[in-house]
Amino acid sequence: DVVPRLATSGSFLFGGAGLGSGIAALEAVTKRPCTWATAQYLSYARLGERLDIDVTVAVEGSSVTQGRAVCRVGDREVLTVNAALGDRDFDASGQFVQMPSTVPPDKSRPRTLRAAHANSIMEALDMRIAKGRDLEELDGTPSDGRTIMWVRIKSLVDGLDAPALGILGDFVPMAAGQALGLRAGGNSLDNTVRFARLVPTDWVLLDIQVESVQRGFAHGTIQMFAQDGSLLATASQSCIARKWKN
């Protein structure tokens, strides 16, 4: 069911929570860890509605399974998740991007929430701004498009997993407002997450780069790092840009 801790300020399912649900269902059915997943958001699941997830395994190989999860409310398709899952033995590895040098979570400024964020997923997250502006500082002056933010899921008990990173990959809309210098955000059209290596971490650093806001749409990417600097995942996203009403 869509409950407040999974919902947006508009009282419908947070896109990243939908992607995370699809990933969780695919991992449960295939018994393999997700390496890549993309969601296309087609409709809304409103607060109190039940989301049913239908998993199809399209191809199952010796090390990689490809499948999709179609998420519906009744007969209405809300989102579709396509994914590749599995692990492979390979005798080389490396990380070729570095976590930005920034202040730790306990030295970063808590993100100020709007009144509309009450009883939404934003209250389930602890967010600390390392690079970005507070609400009253959004004066219409554009930034360089980069926002850096520490995030912790308050209710996470068993450690960070791929579904949780699916949630955290849905912050390009917030960063679009930061880039424009406006009290603005957006509705997600899609979200793609590529998983690197999961390591234990309490906080995740989101290094968000909004690349373009044109024709009413915002596009951006996110690199997600553990506190020790390990790259957990990358995400890319497009959204419908909207100014906030309050």
For residue range 110-163, list pLDDT tens digits in order: 998 888 788 889 999 999 999 999 999 999 999 999 999 999 998 876 789 999
How many residues would you count in the chain? 246
Let me know if residue 184 belongs to a domain. Answer: yes
Asked if 150 and 171 touch (Cβ cutoff 8 Å), the reply is: no
Q: Is 39 helix (H, G, I), strand (E, B) or coil?
A: strand
The string of pLDDT tens digits covering residues 47-64 is 999 999 999 999 999 999
Domain count within the chain: 1
Residue 33 included in any domain: yes
**Any domain includes 231:** yes
In this prediction the pTM is 0.95
What is the DSSP code (8-state) at residue 53?
Answer: E
Task: Return the SS3 of 242.
Answer: strand
Residue 92 lies in a domain: no
In a domain, residue 99? The reply is no
Does 98 reside within a domain?
no
Say if 193 falls within a structural domain. yes
| CATH code for position 174 | 2.40.160.210
User: How confident is the model at residue 246, as a pLDDT?
Assistant: 64
pLDDT in tens, 76-98: 999 999 999 999 999 999 999 99
Residue 119 is assigned to a structural domain of this protein: yes
Cα separation of 23 and 1, whole Å?
Answer: 17
**How many CB atoms are closer than 10 A to CB 141?**
10
**Residue with structure tokens 């990173």?**
165
How many Å apart are CA 236 and CA 129, to the nearest integer? 20
Structural domain for 195, as ranges: 4-87+105-243
pLDDT of residue 127: 96
